[in-house]
Amino acid sequence: MERAIRDMAGRGTAWTPTLGALLALLDAPDMTPRRRRRLRESLAQVTELLPLAVRLGVPVLAGTDVTGSIPGEVALLAQMGLEPQDALAAASTWPRRFLGAAAAADIVTYHNDPREDPGQLAHPAAVVAGGSRLR
């Protein structure tokens, strides 16, 4: 998998690991012991490769599949080895930069610093998107 990360860096591609979806599979009732073991091995590889991806300049993007949330995904990225500021960037600056999105600024405030505790993302104090108050 390290080679794949290096190839991604060379090609300018991004990585969206969707950790919440992978972790949800571990609890699936129809998961065989063999598949569960392979999934745990894959998650261990992700933990090892996330910091490498960041060092090599691969944009790691926070995304969800059929389960989870962006705040939860950011917290998982931090738990799996990303520095908190990199986990936050995975849900903010890196996707905008990678996708070339030029939108009006979004402002989110928190009572506590999400760089110290990514779980704070689930509890914003106020949100302003493109000049419109949402919350």
Instruction: Please write the tens of the pLDDT for every residue from 19-39.
Output: 988 888 888 889 899 999 999
Averaged confidence pLDDT in the chain:
86
Q: Which residues are CB-neighbours of 87 under 8 A, at least 6 positions away?
A: 62, 74, 75, 77, 78, 118
Tens-digit pLDDT profile for residues 66-85:
788 889 999 999 999 899 99
Residue 134, pLDDT score: 42
Break the chain into its structural domains and give their ranges: 2-102
- In this predicted structure, the answer to whether residue 18 has a pLDDT above a threshold of 80 is yes
Residue (of 56, 87, 70) closest to 127 by Cα position:
70
Tens-digit pLDDT profile for residues 89-115:
999 888 888 887 655 556 778 899 888
Tens-digit pLDDT profile for residues 86-96:
999 999 888 88
Give start and end residues of each alpha helix (H) in 12-100: 19-26, 33-56, 70-79, 84-89, 93-99
Copy the structure tokens of residue 72: 């939860």
pTM of the predicted model as reported, rounded to 2 decimal places: 0.77
Phi-psi region of 81 (alpha: psi -120 to 50; beta: other; left: phi over 0): left
Sign of the dihedral defined by the CA atoms of residues 85, 88, 93, 97, in that order: positive
Residue 104, pLDDT score: 56
